[in-house]
A and B are shown apart, each in its own frame.
Chain A
Amino acid sequence: DAKTTQPPSMDCAEGRAANLPCNHSTISGNEYVYWYRQIHSQGPQYIIHGLKNNETNEMASLIITEDRKSSTLILPHATLRDTAVYYCIVRDSNSGYALNFGKGTSLLVTP
């Protein structure tokens, strides 16, 4: 899998947009960008994934740069329940079975 780099922690005020960056400068053409999060005392939760186009679902938006070397997960209106560790994972069909979560970004949403 391509190596990813994320800031260790971020803060966001409740109701504001949370923009979580991820660098993946060695990403290959077939590798997708996946985002998961893990709320305290829960299992990881899939959020969104994309290849090169921007993606949006009911949880978040994913913006991937044109050169695909970085991406941003956007939570448009963060709530206290969005406080979690967010993981950016890059993988393709040759990446094997295990998800490599790395250290992620610990997002704290404050009132």
Chain B
Amino acid sequence: GAGVSQSPSNKVTEKGKDVELRCDPISGHTALYWYRQSLGQGLEFLIYFQGNSAPDKSGLPSDRFSAERTGGSVSTLTIQRTQQEDSAVYLCASSLAPTSDIQYFGAGTRLSVL
């Protein structure tokens, strides 16, 4: 596609429910990244994929968070048993190659946990 696409753009859920956030990277980009941004805060790195594997999961805040990437393309970030502190904008980025290459971001998914 022309850019990184994320869905849904907004998600409201109740505390304790599971949510799935989707990211469709730019075609041909092998590297994919998830970040989150809490209100008024900076970006917090969550996880990085190279192809289908995730060599760096260091940023996932708890075992309620997981992510997968299939076919070297679409990625899904899953949050189980959501808590109010999970409320944030979840941003996905992709790049042609990892590390020093330019990252292109989607518009994000705004998650609100009531």
Contact = CB atoms under 8 A, between A and B. Distances in A.
Interface of A: 32, 34, 42-46, 49, 91-99, 101-103
Residue among A44, A94, A98 having the largest count of chain B Cβ atoms under 10 Å: A98
A43 B33 contact: no
B1 to A, nearest CB: 15
B107 A97 contact: no
Interface string B77-105: 00000000000000101000011101111
Interface residues of B, number: 22
Contacts of A95: 99-100
Given A95-B99, A96-B56, A46 B104 contact: yes
Contacts of A99: 43, 45, 93, 103
A97 B33 CA distance: 8
A97 B104 contact: no
Given A43-B91, A43-B93, A97 B45 contact: yes
A95 B48 CA distance: 14
B56 A49 contact: no
A46 B100 contact: no
Contacts of A94: 99
Given A32-B100, A44-B43, A46-B103, A97 B56 contact: yes
A45 B42 contact: no
A89 B48 CA distance: 19
Given A43-B91, A44-B43, A103-B42, A97 B106 contact: no
Contacts of B108: 42-43
A44 B35 CA distance: 11
